[in-house]
Amino acid sequence: MKFIKKQINNTVNKIELLNTLEKLLSDLEKMGPVPNNIAVYDYAVRFFNIISTFQDTHSINPKLINDTQVDAQRIMKYINAAGRYSQNSVCTRTKAGDIITPNNLYIRVKENAIAYKSVAFIKDHADSRTKSNASKTLFTFVNTYHKSMIESLRRIVRFNKKPDNFIIRRAYEKRRQFEM
């Protein structure tokens, strides 16, 4: 009996994880392609909000999605690199629960340096050369992670079908009732 309960619980967890990953995929797809102009600043803020919110509220257990564990591990890596606490060429300086704004999204403005400036500062005060370099850096960073995440999420969703079983559906519905 314990084995059956554990299997049902794992299956319900898998359904919840897949629902969460489908929502993340949908949010990223709705953003459309990354603009390669000044609009990339606002796009990046939206992108980082999606990733950081996911990072704050969800975790991914690759063992639940056997067929695509490598993609699940990639998604975790991408979220850590493009979410909060990263120290890449683009990063946020926020705590869990904070909303990403142009004031707390930073871009490294000099190659091989630790000089970061906020998106807001760059948009309002930087010279045209700095704006151009920052836009390129931001475009490259966001475009790389956006495309890679969508590709991995699509594989996860495509190769991991949700169980369609009456007992599993009832267990899932019961758990959702208790969470509300």
Question: How many domains, in total, are found in the chain?
Answer: 1
In a domain, 180, yes or no: no
| pLDDT the model gives residue 102 | 94
| Rounded Cα gap, residues 103 and 13, in angstroms | 37
In a domain, 83, yes or no: yes
| pLDDT the model gives residue 116 | 82
Does residue 24 register a pLDDT over 80?
yes
In a domain, 52, yes or no: yes
Q: Name the least confident of 2-6, 14-18, 92-96, 111-115.
A: 111-115
| pLDDT the model gives residue 153 | 96
In a domain, 26, yes or no: yes
User: Which domain does 90 fall in, by range?
Assistant: 2-175
H or E element that contains 118: strand 116-118
In a domain, 35, yes or no: yes
| Rounded Cα gap, residues 43 and 144, in angstroms | 14
Return the residue matching tokens 């991408």.
Answer: 78
In a domain, 103, yes or no: yes
| Rounded Cα gap, residues 170 and 176, in angstroms | 10
In a domain, 8, yes or no: yes
In a domain, 164, yes or no: yes
